Amino acid sequence: MTKPSLRENIIAAGLETMLKSGYEGASVRDICAAAGAPHGSFTNHFRSKEAFAEEVLDRYFAHTKTFVKTALDDKSLTPRQRLKRYLDIISGVLADDKWHRGCLIGDFSLETASRSDRLRERLEAIFQEWRVPFASCIAEAQAAGELDPALDPIELAEFLLASWEGAILRMKVERGPAALERFKRIVFQTLFKEQK
């Protein structure tokens, strides 16, 4: 009889540990302890911590895309309202964590992009994929006359996501929602201001 694979337990524990401690702060020993797995199970499933981190990042991004889908596919809202809905959903998730945890994509961008080409390239691909549904929603809002059509939807999507990541970083420092609320208020009164 074969032993059950601990791979999924290790990935789930790695996600929690890296959200809490970051890439550098999360040792393989800590991840294995959280997963209830021997160190050998980690090395059996993953070639390196870097390869493991890429899988954790992919798992996190897959979960993030469910929030994107929930907000941006909700046709009961206008496109502009859907964009705000996404930010409100993420604000709620961050509030549930008492503003101690941020976004793993942003955290990894700061911590690993200068040290790991593999993770930097994966992060770049994630940002390119992440902007697509936002650019589409922005274009829809512009076509509906909700938003100023003068700016490129992809550029606006890039700005929205990059600035939001910055607000999340500030939120982690302040341990409170002020940066998130300030960002939402300003962006929806300026670039994403509803057209009359």
CATH number at residue 15: 1.10.10.60
Does residue 158 contact residue 96 with C-beta atoms inside 8 Å? Answer: no
Distance, in Å, from the CA atom of 83 to the CA atom of 163, rounded to the nearest integer, reads 14
Positions in the chain short of pLDDT 70: 1-4, 196
At residue 170, the pLDDT reads: 96
- Compute the distance between CA of residue 116 and CA of residue 63 in angstroms, rounded to an integer: 23
Q: Are residues 67 and 26 in the same domain?
A: no
Residue 174: predicted pLDDT: 96
Reported as a single tens digit per residue, the pLDDT across 120-153 is 999 999 999 999 999 999 999 999 999 999 999 9
Buried b / exposed e over 56-75, threshold 16 CB at 10 Å, is bbebbbeebeeebeebbeee
Judge if 76 and 128 occupy the same domain. Answer: yes
The single residue listed with the structure tokens 């979960």 is: 63
Residue 196 forms part of a structural domain? no
**Which positions ≥6 away from 69 have C-beta within 8 Å?**
133
Q: What is the pLDDT of residue 24?
A: 94
At residue 156, the pLDDT reads 97
Q: In whole angstroms, what is the distance from residue 118 CA to residue 52 CA?
A: 11
Can you give the CATH number for the domain in which 127 is found? 1.10.357.10
Q: Which residues contact 122 (CB under 8 A, 6 or more apart)?
A: 54, 57, 58
Global confidence as pTM: 0.93
What gap in Å lies between CA 60 and CA 68, rounded to an integer?
Answer: 13
Angstrom distance (rounded) from CA 89 to CA 190: 21
User: In Å, what is the CA distance from 168 to each residue of 21, 54, 92, 100, 183?
Assistant: 16, 21, 12, 10, 10
Q: Are residue 87 and residue 28 in the same domain, yes or no?
A: no
- pLDDT score recorded for residue 56: 97
Task: Report the pLDDT value the prediction gives residue 2, as an integer from 0 to 100.
Answer: 54
Q: Is residue 194 part of a domain?
A: no
Q: Which of 152, 105, 158 is nearest to 131 (CA)?
A: 158
Let me know if residue 147 belongs to a domain: yes
**In this structure, are 36 and 75 located in the same domain?**
no
